Chain A
């Protein structure tokens, strides 16, 4: 009886019946499916069916209803539109999909992507035929993680989901000037750069894109009250890299221009690892390198340089070099 049938089981039974029937199923058939056979009024059961059909769309199964000449409604799944086509993937591509799954999903490293990504990968493995997996699977060596600090991870989950579902969100945001404002925005991208996550979003009230640092969000992030799935599209040509400042050491007021830092031979390779192709790097005497930055905010730069005790020297501009040396003297005085 219906009291013993869970919603999951009822919906699985319905999917099973729909997938088995070539020409769809009518109400008479539906009323024999466990979960629809509990003797409630036709009207109540019909409402239950409509709710279930709506929820099946979330699985990717679109159920269509057609009314015949005698007024009989028939429900069917359009296999052509709703089922995954046969995928012809090479063995290497199947291994790649497996690797992606293991690297993100074993320890929940995919963060806000986890649930949807897991289902997508399982569907792909299922859809690529009976030889979908090779005889011997490679060990999962790589582990990826989209998460960072606990406080950010909490926001990241909601914003990530909103980004996947294209739904607006709202939150309170504290600016650098310590002013708090209520924001309701459409997320376009999540960006991580040195030490933090940033949200790029369209703010309708301010009629433009804005960047928000997740650690400056106050309280909780929630979906906008009237938001719905797929309510906006990200404009074609949107480029998050361009939208987000590429000045990784900051570019605001107080930033120095045309900064040059020399690194010695011991750490030159680390600078090349991080900045080669992004910023100009020139060879220096003794096997070192000089890193050129268009702009840098002094203390964002210091935070990085702190990792290379004694292996760096600020060459230009002169004012930054002097400011740094003055500060070093003051700081050493305090620590004496």
Chain B
């Protein structure tokens, strides 16, 4: 049934946006241009007796490719979309809440006003769902400083302005300055990252937004094309990205059963219980900083067996911790 629901919403959208371009209609209705054309073809079949031309929905496009303008015929009766289902109201409510968590002050006020206007306009259960105060998806709260930083970086990206960052690299354990071309802000897991071209590295990098101490928008504008999504590079946080090694960790008899339970069923993870009760975990290694934090979280109950580079990274971290306590 969701297919019909999608098509009815699309018919409403196109009927109320005469001469919208194929590209914009695709973006606004969350489809690719090809998917949009396919759905429009499905709508063309819709009609009722007596089957005169004006009883069938039809469409025409004028202009090339994604710039082509769409005109939908004989679909005025679809102009007013169906009311929200309770699930649609809830999904929108949850998404606006989530969006607000990283928004700066003016955007948050706008979100509040929008939610109030919708709750007032809609009726039935949909209006009740939008008015309810309980929240369904709870994510880490963002401090005001983080919200402002995300807003500033997003604006710089939209205006294609070069930004000078002061950034703390967990890998190096130091603060440094670098000029970047901000392309996109990505939320993944519990963190926000800035995908940007780093002039120093000459390549795109993901910068964790909470580790940016200062971001100064410069007058300079970058001109290169923003990489398309498939070429934009993948996030390389904890458990994803490009594997460069296999991490092998040994756990004590005390921690072993928990590790077996928690990690035993994960894909790409191998857990072996040894005769002495210890457990060895083998998993793809994407990020050494993550590996150090992961092993430290088990305290005396875990140690890295390999690779040597991860053992060295853990050793460095522990030595630095010791030094900080002895100072």
Contact = CB atoms under 8 A, between A and B. Distances in A.
Contact of A84 (B84, B87, B135, B140): B84
A303 B16 contact: no
Interface string A31-71: 01110000000000000000000011011110000000000
B30 A193 contact: no
A193 to B, nearest CB: 7
B136 A163 contact: yes
A216 B262 contact: yes
Interface stretch (B45-53, B62-70, B241-249, B271-279): B45-53
A106 B28 CA distance: 10
Q: Name which of B85, B185, B239 has the most chain A CB atoms within 10 A of its CB.
A: B85
B321 A133 contact: no
A207 to B, nearest CB: 20
Interface in B1-21: 1-10, 12-13, 15-18, 20
Nearest to B15: A126
Contact of B96 (A100, A160, A269, A299): A100
A317 interface: no
B145 interface: yes
Interface residues of A, number: 144
Interface in B146-168: 146, 149-150, 154, 157-158, 168
B42 interface: yes
A284 to B, nearest CB: 13
Contact of A60 (B82, B96, B139): B82
Interface string B19-35: 01000100111100000
Contact of A306 (B183, B185, B186, B289): B289
Contacts of B158: 138-139, 141
Nearest to B80: A83
B34 to A, nearest CB: 15
A332 B315 contact: yes
A276 B185 CA distance: 22
Q: Name which of B1, B7, B143, B289 has the most chain A CB atoms within 10 A of its CB.
A: B1
A332 B314 CA distance: 9
Interface stretch (B197-205, B216-224, B295-303): B295-303
A58 B325 contact: no
Given A19-B78, A122-B28, A164 B4 contact: no
B317 interface: yes
B4 A11 contact: yes
A97 B27 CA distance: 12
A1 to B, nearest CB: 14
Contacts of A216: 261-262
Given A16-B46, A299-B296, A139 B83 contact: no
Contact of B168 (A83, A99, A124, A267): A267
A85 B293 CA distance: 53
B231 interface: no
B215 to A, nearest CB: 12
Given A117-B88, A335-B314, A240 B77 contact: no
Contact of B77 (A9, A20, A110, A121): A20
A15 B8 contact: yes
A304 B322 CA distance: 16
Nearest to A115: B2
A133 B42 contact: no
A141 B157 CA distance: 7
Contacts of A61: 8, 82
A305 interface: yes
Interface string B293-323: 1101111100110000001001111111111
B210 A270 contact: yes
A8 B168 contact: no
Interface string B99-124: 10010000100110110011001111
Contact of A81 (B123, B144, B146, B292): B123
B99 A328 contact: no
Contact of B138 (A60, A127, A130, A244): A244
B282 interface: no
Given A103-B99, A218-B265, A300-B297, 15 more contacts: A11-B1, A19-B77, A81-B123, A84-B83, A89-B114, A93-B110, A93-B114, A122-B30, A149-B239, A216-B261, A240-B134, A273-B143, A273-B145, A306-B296, A329-B322
19 contacts: A58-B2, A85-B121, A89-B117, A99-B99, A109-B187, A122-B12, A124-B92, A130-B17, A139-B158, A191-B139, A215-B262, A240-B136, A272-B143, A298-B299, A303-B296, A308-B170, A309-B316, A309-B320, A310-B321
Interface of B: 1-10, 12-13, 15-18, 20, 24, 27-30, 42-43, 45-49, 57, 77-92, 94-96, 98-99, 102, 107, 110-111, 113-114, 117-118, 121-124, 126, 132-141, 143-146, 149-150, 154, 157-158, 168, 170, 173-175, 182-190, 210-211, 213, 226, 229, 238-239, 257-258, 261-262, 265-267, 289, 292-294, 296-300, 303-304, 311, 314-325, 327
**Considering the complex of A and B, which 7 residue pairs feature the smallest CB-CB distances, nearest first?**
A310-B320, A303-B297, A306-B293, A60-B82, A116-B91, A126-B12, A120-B88
